Amino acid sequence: YVVMLTARDTEMDTIVGLTVGADDYITKPFSPRELVARIRALLRRPRTVTGGDQAAPPRRFGKLQVDIAAREVHLDGEPIRLTRTEFDLLSALSARPGVVLTRRQLLETVREGPWVGDEHVVDVHIGHLRRKLGENASTPRYVLTVRGVGYRMGGGQ
């Protein structure tokens, strides 16, 4: 991604910047919070692989398939309907399989700006996600709990 930070603030400067490849164009003065929010917004968008317009292939975990570009999830070939937050949580976890992500990291991935409130709201969304994936609460296959730390993506076995 390319974000242009500049003091050049005419409409023509903005048009030229975006035309030559910038994904966003921010003029001075700007707040650090705005910059962070814009970067997070960019990171939520699907990105194509380098070298063409072909989207990244779906991520596979056993019978679970997560297609980031299409924002679709299939389990055993059947589509699973997820909310935006559930999909974003699954996307964040599936991007780094086996890596434990804390509740705070997950919240900052799926929300714009810093989270103020109880981080355990993630547990509620993870519970909904697991139910939709047909997970057994005592032996989940896809979204695994690391007690006292957070969650990680399992292989589906």
Greater confidence (142 vs 54) lies with: 142
SS3 145: strand
pLDDT at position 49, please?
Answer: 45
Residue 145 resides in a domain: yes
Based on the domain organization, do 144 and 121 belong to the same domain? yes
Residue 54 resides in a domain: no
Based on the domain organization, do 37 and 66 belong to the same domain? no
Number of domains in the chain: 2
Residue 27 sits in which domain range?
3-44
150-153: strand order across its sheet: 101-102, 150-153, 143-146
Match 């980031």 to its residue by tokens: 68
* pLDDT tens for each residue of 76-111: 999 999 998 899 999 999 999 989 999 988 888 887
Based on the domain organization, do 72 and 148 belong to the same domain? yes
pTM: 0.65
Cα dist. 86→1, 133, 139 in Å?
24, 11, 20
